[in-house]
Amino acid sequence: MEKFIIEPHFRLHEWVAEEQGFFREEGLDYEFHEKVRSSDGAIHKTEDKVGAYQSIEEGRESTVSCACHWTVNVAASTGHTQIFADAYSVAPSGIFVPAESDIKTAEDLAGVPISVGFQSGSHYSTIQTLERFMDAEDINLSFHDGMLFNRMELLIDGQVPAASLFSGPYYFAEQLGFRKIVDTTFMIAANIKSDTNPEDIRKYYAALKKAQIEIDLRPELYTHYYANEFPERFQERMDTRRWGPGERIVFETYSKETYEKSFEWIAAHEIFAEHEMGHGDYEKAIFTLSP
């Protein structure tokens, strides 16, 4: 049987579980791939309209990977993956602008290009948040600025007027004095690679649960792990002692009601073409360790 492949994904948990030996304590036979560690951040530079859904569709290397729950929801409905239904996570997120920007309120973002990832958490959460403040036609999403770290760089370099950020880039933008105009916190779901041994999934999440407790108890001991994913050009400017814990794993069920509400929201907003939306059958879409 192939080894369980673990890749950190913009959060602290996998780094903590690896350092503290939690994966080994659970008896997981695994390989730890630091895919997102990149001195130039090149892995985060993607083509226009290539996002989380496309990466799941192509197939990810890690045994368990994460993306916003909307994308995992649709990918599971089309048979590209399965949603892990025994936990989900919540990622603090926000739309940031430069300190000197004339944009002061959410309403001021009407018509302003906002850098987001295509069919990724920032895409959906920006719409979900801003539709409370403006008409749909006034929400101007820019998809050509790449994934999380690339749009952070463009914002810092003054090349975009606004960007949706989460995880380390969220805290770095705060540290540098960028202004958060509106909160866009969103849910993240895990998707499971086909033919995965359920016992390995149990061991993996048991280790992450231990890591979550450690992060809850002493977050300041672990925020330095954010630096592992940042481009080298920013390392000297980062003060991760000032940063927060970021994404939090919630060990509760991603329920049928949640799945169906998400599916309906995506369909209503026509983010995917009708023929791209799958069956919407919760029982077929999920992977669970529960009996």
In the predicted model, what is the mean pLDDT of residues 32-44? 59
Numbers of helices and strands, H then E, in the chain: 10, 13
pLDDT of 86 over the 80 cut: yes
CATH number for the region 93-186 comes to: 3.40.190.10
Least confident of 35-49, 63-77, 163-177: 35-49
Q: What is the pLDDT at residue 36?
A: 57
CA dist 118 and 120 (Å) reads 5
CA dist 196 and 29 (Å) reads 13
Most confident among 47-61, 124-138, 139-153, 273-287 (mean pLDDT): 124-138
pLDDT of 256 over the 90 cut: yes
HSE, CB side, 13 Å, CA atoms: give it for residue 18: 16
165 or 76, greater pLDDT: 165
pLDDT in tens, 184-215: 999 999 999 878 899 999 999 999 999 999 99
In the predicted model, what is the mean pLDDT of residues 265-280? 87
Question: What DSSP string describes 71-83?
Answer: HHHHHHHTTS-EE
Q: What is the pLDDT at residue 38?
A: 47
Q: What's the CATH class of domain 4-91+187-275?
A: alpha beta
CA dist 76 and 57 (Å) reads 10
H or E segment and range at residue 183: strand 179-183
Contact 286, 76 (CB under 8 A): yes
Contact 93, 121 (CB under 8 A): yes
Q: Is 10 helix (H, G, I), strand (E, B) or coil?
A: coil
Where along the chain do the CATH 3.40.190.10 domains lie? 4-91+187-275, 93-186
Contact 260, 277 (CB under 8 A): no
Contact 266, 73 (CB under 8 A): yes
